[in-house]
Structure 1
Amino acid sequence: MSLFLTLPRPGWFGLGAARAYIQSHPDQNIAILETNETVGGTWSEARLYPGLKSNNMLGSYEFPDFPMSEKIYGVKPLGHIPGAVLNRYLTDFAKHYGIFERLQFKSTVGVVESTESGWTLTVTSPKGKRKIQTTKLILATGLTSTPNIPQYEGADKFGKPFFHAKDFCQRTDDLKGATNVVVVGGAKSAYDVAYAMVESGATVDLIIKPDSTGPVWIAPRKVTPLQRRIDTILNVRALSWFSPCPWGQEDGYGAVRCFLHKTILGRMLVKGFWNMMGNDVLQRNQYDNHPELHKLKPWYSVFWIGSGLSILNYNTSFFDMVRDGKVRVHIENIERLAPGRVVLGNGDQLVADAMICSTGWKKESTITFSGLDKTGLGLPIDQQGLAKLRAEYDAKVLKEFPILENQPVLQSEPKRSAEPLRYYRFMVPSAMMVKRNFAFAGMISSVSTAICASTQGLWITAYFDDRLEREAKTEDEVVKEIMMHTQWGKWRYPCGYGASLPDFVFEGIPYVDMLLKDMGIQNKRKSSLIKELTEPYCPEDYNGVLEEFRQKHGITAK
């Protein structure tokens, strides 16, 4: 069979990939393995809790040809989409396109073995273990599957609920009656948990480590003097020029990008643009008007942050909770835990009825691969050769984008050197380019999730079927492109995910440009030049892309 494997939850990228392949191969036997019991990924039923909303507003978080209409889903214009609505929407999408009927729930893949005919998967379900053979395989494991839980001295003596924010929904009963809750982390999810606990009547101690990247950049719904929506302004083509990006020229405006990033005057304009963006948010949030709120002022320029940028989507003011002392902020390390206490590095002891860790995710896969050659899923290069390539492409990135050389001085200690995900187009390991039977979907962090998910899914289908009109042909070409694209991330987003995986803010639409051009599909989809440059790209602009691809290749859907 041809198999689409989405682990542990079929979210945006898994559903996008499954839909594109099913629509292009209606007669093939396709299975989708799912660890949990519901569809949705981050928005699966088990991860929903009261008040959970998306950062996105209506119109920016939907598949291109499956609109989230206000009439059906009840979300108003400029309304942030509730988590329960997203779960319903993604489930409806799965049922509409024949994905749901192919899902095998409670099926966990432990081992993936490469064989002559494709892949053999070892799957565990309530009925026991079984093996499945497939000719093609997509892994859509996502980036928020395996929680990163800190290890604290004395944790075994804490004696209170202690868990990751991922399990917040499932542990709500354990939090009933809690009056003092400790939340660890400076990301948006930490703010969400803190907000929800205050809403339930608790007081929260929010702890942010001093050796982290600090509090999240969080913006109002509309930014800049022009009052543009923050969730769509990041997809305005002309504004994407101000972000140094190695695939940026795919939008057809390479000369403008060259001026902005390779000339002194251009770089002055780039710095002015990012200063304007950052200062606008800082002034609107009024961090300097209260000593406690000042602790949540971002530590680094928004230029370096990456897709961690977030939006204030609460019904009431989270910052007022801080000003009123309902959320107490501590920039401290945790020294140890004691019975019902969290002891900080400065000696303060916080009373805690519960402790919730919003401390990120482990990026490594929980799946074991076997039967691969010695390079596995990496580049076909030994460590010495890879070190040489890293140095070579560091130099190339800085020559191409001099603005990246002046890196921010981080408060955190240098992280252990680790290889980023080095895949062609951020989807295919170089060793598998020839076989055309394996790809990753969704191993990127992007603010343009829905658009990237649908486009990646179609690109993978075209790649599997050898229908790409443009691709690197030799191993050397593949390696060069992978190195340039992935080494760029280390320099572009040192305060984001850039050193370990693709991180897109203004880079999302140029990335989609690149994938569409690979498939020979029109990437400029606005009705006029002015709109092309100044109007944000939204999912609806890509409505019909799959049909264009099918017509181009004479594929008839049933």
Structure 2
Amino acid sequence: MTESFDTVVVGAGWFGLAAAKAYKQVHPNANIAVLEAAESCGGTWSNNRLYPGLKSNNMVGTYEFPDFPMSEEKYGVKPNNHIPGAVLHRYLTDFAKEFGFFDRIQFNTAVNLVEKNGEKGWSLTVTTPEGSRKVDTAKLILATGLTSTPNMPTYRGSENFEAPFFHAKDFCKEAPTLKNVKRATVVGGAKSAYDVCYAMVQQGAEVDLIVRPNGHGPVWIAPAFVTPLKKRLDQILNVRFMSWMSPCPWGGEDGYPGIRRFLHNTALGRFIVRSFWKVLSNDVTTAINYENNAELKKLKPWNSAFWIGSGLSILNYDTSFFDLVREGKIRVHIDNIDHLEPRKVVLVGGETIESDVLVASTGWKKESTIKFAGLGEEQLGLPGTVAEKKALAEKADAEVLRDFPILKDQPKLAFVPKEADPLRYYRFIVPYTMIESRNLAFAGMISCVSTATVAAIQGHWIAAFMGEQLDRAPKSGQEVIDEIMLHTQWGKWRYPSGYGASLPDFVFEGVPYTNLLMKDLGLKTHRKPGLFAELTSPYLPPDFAGLMEEWKQAHEKNAAADGDLKGAPAVAAAAAASS
């Protein structure tokens, strides 16, 4: 039998859980289901992905939902400490239970295909341990995120390796079998590669870390406390005045467009911006002291932190990771793998590495793996011919470089990015072709450093959008297209050493992005007690507590008899007018 729901959320990570909570609160009478491919809540923090020593980059206080504090009494994490993976898994599970939708989550249920179901919405083909079945839904929220499908490399001779070879995603599953491993090889330069290296050394292995010379290079990784004032990095990234130092087309949503124009459109302003980033970068590299050791120097980031995006990470190990490099327990190779032999990894440069295990910390496919059918020629992209889209992109490029001249001086990359269209969604959430129908949205198709807050506000925005309850709407479909192009082309220029060319990548852009969505919802964006605090005090999850109640109170006069709230015309009106 085909199951039928009013709304289906796909994914039970941060963004899926936030969307389910918000939708249930905005539409209390809706029949909701959450479909999750794993056997438990959490996404990255689901039980099957927890490996020894795994902790959050963020410290406690910045990695929690606004309406569900991670109290020390309940979760045992002391102030200024990183959060163990097992605690995050329990916290996210508790969140679903607290807000009354845990029993609506169907675990071990993977969505493979999404098809249009006439005027009724969507028909999903899902796979479970019992087999395949159909699920129908009027509205669909896809929150599969960006860390669902491993980007697994292939190497010549891998069939003859005669030792375990797997992606870091499976490190939890494989870890118990690796206790006697003496020689481990890890491929990758991101934080997950460092995590695997550290864990293997703690288990008694010596590790060879291979970083591709034609990739992004070693991760920008910083101490938890930075700047001469020794402030928490995970907090200062959400300080409003510091967000001014990042060129951002929606930055003016924070209420200070004049200051931003000065900083990015005048020579003196750009000098201030460059100085800020130089101080921030030098503070990190000086603290780690890459230059005092030949092996450690190989891990020095290749480009300024200005260009790196949300790949910026925080040192969260119990002991010094870099001391393991200095001591020779982690050996660094800047090279590519040529081929594999029995228990040997052979590099292009000719070096042969003896290895009892090969772990690929090679990232994720930054796209939804769910297949769509029956959407017509335009699918989930923008309308128009190739030439028309190219013209729109060129127009947006010109606008980005006019408003932010600092982005003209692009870094010299060690690799040539693959030409591909980025995700082009309105507000980074809704495909243009779905704006009028209001029955499809993507949650969490962004990479950011303020996950919990952005997830909560995105979820609220989606719930209101699908009910035609947003307070602010564009005036035309063309305005929507122009915004989509401007915002997505900006990413290519802003974060070439990150994910900017393919998807939204936020660091200091998170605060103005939440302000953008909150203004659509008619919510107050300046939430601090005074101007000084507004500009210098970091925006943390508790600052956004009670948003749903505020929104309901402001809209209660429009409450409909069915229990759903009806607000101002949604974005759909503009898109429909231009269709």
> Normalising to structure 1: TM-score of the pair?
0.98
- Taking the aligned partners of 2:451 and 2:160, their CA distance within structure 1 comes to 41
Shift, 1:39, TM fit: 0.2
Q: Which moved more, 1:158-167 or 1:379-388?
A: 379-388
Shift, 1:4, TM fit: 2.6
Counterpart of 1:123 (choices 116, 123, 126) is 126
In structure 1, what residue type is equivalent to 2:497? C
In structure 2, what residue type is equivalent to 1:351? E
Structure 1 residues not aligned, in runs of 5+: none
Query: What does residue 470 of structure 1 align with?
Result: 472
Q: Which moved more, 1:304-313 or 1:546-555?
A: 546-555
Query: What does residue 171 of structure 2 align with?
Result: 168
In structure 2, what residue type is equivalent to 1:198? V
Query: What does residue 310 of structure 2 align with?
Result: 307
Counterpart of 1:20 (choices 22, 27, 34) is 22
In structure 2, what residue type is equivalent to 1:368? K
- Taking the aligned partners of 1:364 and 1:301, their CA distance within structure 2 comes to 26
Q: Which moved more, 1:122-131 or 1:350-359?
A: 122-131
Query: What does residue 452 of structure 2 align with?
Result: 450
In structure 1, what residue type is equivalent to 2:57? N
Counterpart of 1:272 (choices 231, 253, 275) is 275
SS of the aligned residue for 1:143 comes to coil
Residue 6 (structure 1) aligned with residue 7 (structure 2): no
Query: What does residue 259 of structure 2 align with?
Result: 256
Query: What does residue 552 of structure 1 align with?
Result: 554
Identity of aligned residues (%): 60
Structure 2 residues not aligned, in runs of 5+: 565-579
In structure 2, what residue type is equivalent to 1:434? E
Query: What does residue 485 of structure 1 align with?
Result: 487
Query: What does residue 500 of structure 1 align with?
Result: 502
In structure 1, what residue type is equivalent to 2:439? N
- Does the 8 A contact of 2:10 with 2:111 survive in 1? no
Query: What does residue 518 of structure 1 align with?
Result: 520
- Taking the aligned partners of 1:194 and 1:274, their CA distance within structure 2 comes to 29
- Taking the aligned partners of 1:473 and 1:13, their CA distance within structure 2 comes to 29
SS of the aligned residue for 2:372 comes to strand
Shift, 1:385, TM fit: 1.0
Shift, 1:550, TM fit: 1.6
Query: What does residue 421 of structure 2 align with?
Result: 419
Residue 534 (structure 1) aligned with residue 540 (structure 2): no
Query: What does residue 177 of structure 1 align with?
Result: 180
Query: What does residue 198 of structure 1 align with?
Result: 201
Shift, 1:107, TM fit: 1.2
In structure 2, what residue type is equivalent to 1:11? G
Deviations 1:3-29 (A, max 9, x none): 23223xx11000000000111222221
Counterpart of 2:234 (choices 231, 243, 248) is 231
Residue 288 (structure 1) aligned with residue 297 (structure 2): no
Q: Which moved more, 1:130-139 or 1:492-501?
A: 130-139
Counterpart of 1:62 (choices 61, 64, 82) is 64
Q: Which moved more, 1:110-119 or 1:510-519?
A: 110-119
- Taking the aligned partners of 1:318 and 1:370, their CA distance within structure 2 comes to 47
- Taking the aligned partners of 1:457 and 1:504, their CA distance within structure 2 comes to 17
Name the count of aligned residue pairs.
554
- Taking the aligned partners of 1:111 and 1:299, their CA distance within structure 2 comes to 40
SS of the aligned residue for 2:309 comes to coil
Query: What does residue 333 of structure 1 align with?
Result: 336
- Does the 8 A contact of 1:154 with 1:337 survive in 2? yes
- Taking the aligned partners of 2:455 and 2:404, their CA distance within structure 1 comes to 28
Residue 297 (structure 1) aligned with residue 296 (structure 2): no
Shift, 1:110, TM fit: 1.3
Runs of 4+ in 1 over 3 A off after TM superposition: none
What is the aligned-residue RMSD (CA, Å)?
1.0
Query: What does residue 35 of structure 1 align with?
Result: 37
Query: What does residue 431 of structure 1 align with?
Result: 433
Shift, 1:364, TM fit: 2.8
Query: What does residue 567 of structure 2 align with?
Result: none
In structure 2, what residue type is equivalent to 1:279? N
SS of the aligned residue for 1:342 comes to strand
Shift, 1:50, TM fit: 1.4
- Taking the aligned partners of 2:486 and 2:74, their CA distance within structure 1 comes to 44
- Taking the aligned partners of 1:365 and 1:531, their CA distance within structure 2 comes to 39
SS of the aligned residue for 1:62 comes to coil
Query: What does residue 375 of structure 2 align with?
Result: 372
Shift, 1:352, TM fit: 0.3
In structure 2, what residue type is equivalent to 1:236? V
- Taking the aligned partners of 2:304 and 2:369, their CA distance within structure 1 comes to 34
- Taking the aligned partners of 1:138 and 1:473, their CA distance within structure 2 comes to 25
Shift, 1:383, TM fit: 1.2
- Does the 8 A contact of 1:161 with 1:174 survive in 2? no
Query: What does residue 114 of structure 1 align with?
Result: 116
SS of the aligned residue for 2:518 comes to helix
- Does the 8 A contact of 2:114 with 2:123 survive in 1? yes
- Does the 8 A contact of 1:40 with 1:90 survive in 2? yes
